[in-house]
Structure 1
Amino acid sequence: MRIYHSEMSKARRARTELDGGQLVPPWECPERVDMILAGLRKAGFTEMVEPAEHGLAPVLAVHDADYVDFLATCWDDWQALGREGEAIAWIWPTRTMPGRRIPSCVDGRLGHYALGADTSICGGTFEAAQASKDVALSALDHVLATGEPAFGLCRPPGHHAAVDQFGGYCFFNNAAVAAQRALDAGLSRVAILDVDFHHGNGTQQIFEQRSDVLFVSIHGDPMTCFPYFMGHADEVGEGEGAGYTVNYPLPEGTGAEVWFHVLEAAKERIRETGCELLIVSLGVDTFEDDPISAFKLSSDDFTEMGRRLGALGLPTLLLMEGGYAVEEIGVNVANVLSGMTSGVVERG
């Protein structure tokens, strides 16, 4: 399987995350990339490819132009004020203060465009986000050209990024950008299957009124798990998109038996809708020892995940989402790809 990766994806090195009332080093860090690459190489994946540059047009096909401009200028605007810390939102539009106008100052714009205070903006953020979507799009181009699966080692991740908001370490929604590009290339319907522990609120928001993208997510119950305010089972899409959003919220502590039962149900929904491409938002934070998640999959379970994904028989693009800096992250990613590769061989 071809692996797409860019060293520029490590340009973002944030120092601060608000967690439990303290500013701490973020769980999402550049070292994740090196740990995943090491695991892939140890497992025998040696075809590593630098992505081509794709510019901002594919991003603007799914994201608001003013939002993209904000991401491009935020760090410079923040530094121009003489601030020593990183750019973190501290006030938001709310139910009682709806924010019908976007402020001109950087603090107000941060509040408008941020989902929460968990994710800071620092030097290199915009550059890393651009590299991450280039990884996704180059991997997609390979899948569309060959029908073979490909893995995009995206960093920053993307599935929490909405049309005009960032958060959860995400700035550009890589899976959404790739799905739109595939549709623009002539496909009729694309499936995005999100297997990250945390619900892909951004992907849902981007596509919930459309029927050309089926969004299916298996995730921690938002009543107790981030991002809290989306991902319930009764969220099924709106208008033309009714029936094309499928959420499977599961309780904390969910293990492999239940998780794989739900995966089979998710696969059946994908089969029923006649999707021509599968994009997997691949979070491996369902791992039993992940520091900020609460499912109980083992490293061997990720091999089985790959086999079952491969058994769908669709051209498949896998894009990195969550899974944090624990020793097994590289093993778990490699196991998914190994399982999928064996599934492709068995079908052939």
Structure 2
Amino acid sequence: MTATAPTTAGAAVVRRPRRVRVLWLLVVLVVLAGLTAASVAVGSRVVTWSDVLAGLGGSTDTLAEAAVAVRVPRTVLALSVGAALAVSGAVMQGVTRNPLADPGVLGVNSGASLAVVVAIAWFGMTSATGRTWVAIAGAAVAAVFVHTVGSLGRGGATPLKLALAGAATSAALASFITAVSLPRGDIAESVRSWQIGGVGGATFGRTAQVAPFLVVGFLVCAASARALNSLALGDELAAGLGERVAVVRAAGAAGAVVLAGAATAVAGPIGFVGLVVPHVCRLLVGVDHRWLLPFSALAGAGLLTAADVLGRVVARPDEIDVGIITALVGAPFFIAIVRRQKVRAL
């Protein structure tokens, strides 16, 4: 049997039985394994499975084996960034009780992007670790600014007001990014390419430098999972259950900002992953964040990997960056959520 629980919107949400969740977990793992294999095998150059095995072993004697050796770190980066953005979006939605929350929609990615561009253009920063710290700081400032602006006026920080504030902030920050990079011909082209969002040119060295930040972000978000379930009942009930609401919100938001900032620093501002994935995962496993967050991580990794594979296939021998693919998928999804009648709360 399945049980139901009230949501803040007053509707009943089905609690998925454990066996259903486990079944979906197996399905997601199988799909993710297939997408990972496809990411290594598929590209502008056709490779055989013997080439894949040789490339995984470190051999670069042939062009096919060299191609595999390049695709492996690219796949690892796509998995990591997709998981980070999806978990960040799920936590942001839980912290704000806002179904429109997403690092891209709320301007967090844009804040991280501007901070990185300023650090490169004005301070000559090239270290991946330094850029990550700067991106996290920029993401945090943007998040606080958008929430402050969205909280003004009657009704406080409603989902639509936050989305509008985020969209306006993103547009303004994009203009600032152009103003900073345009006079610098030596970095303008690379900044424009990076702004699209992609995982091309990934190396294990770059991924390793950002990995500690991702691990910390995942751990903080995971530690907030149980408290996020209480927040979904409302601040008063959460406080009555013994939760320190302000501390929970601050900790969850910090974990989400770290994940979004680190992902943006290494792959550019990739949008809509944190919006689409948590909503789909709720349909599969329910609203319990102890299940939702790991499922979002797996599904986000799969979505970004699938987008990367698709981008390599549809425009051979050229490629379409994953940021464009996710925008094509996420923009209609965002419009559909906005058009829903009960958009004020999860």
- Structure 1 length-normalised TM: 0.27
Greater Rg by CA: 2
Q: Which has the higher contact order (CA 8 A, sep 6+)?
A: 2
Q: Larger % of helix: which?
A: 2
Q: TM-score when scaled to structure 2? A: 0.27
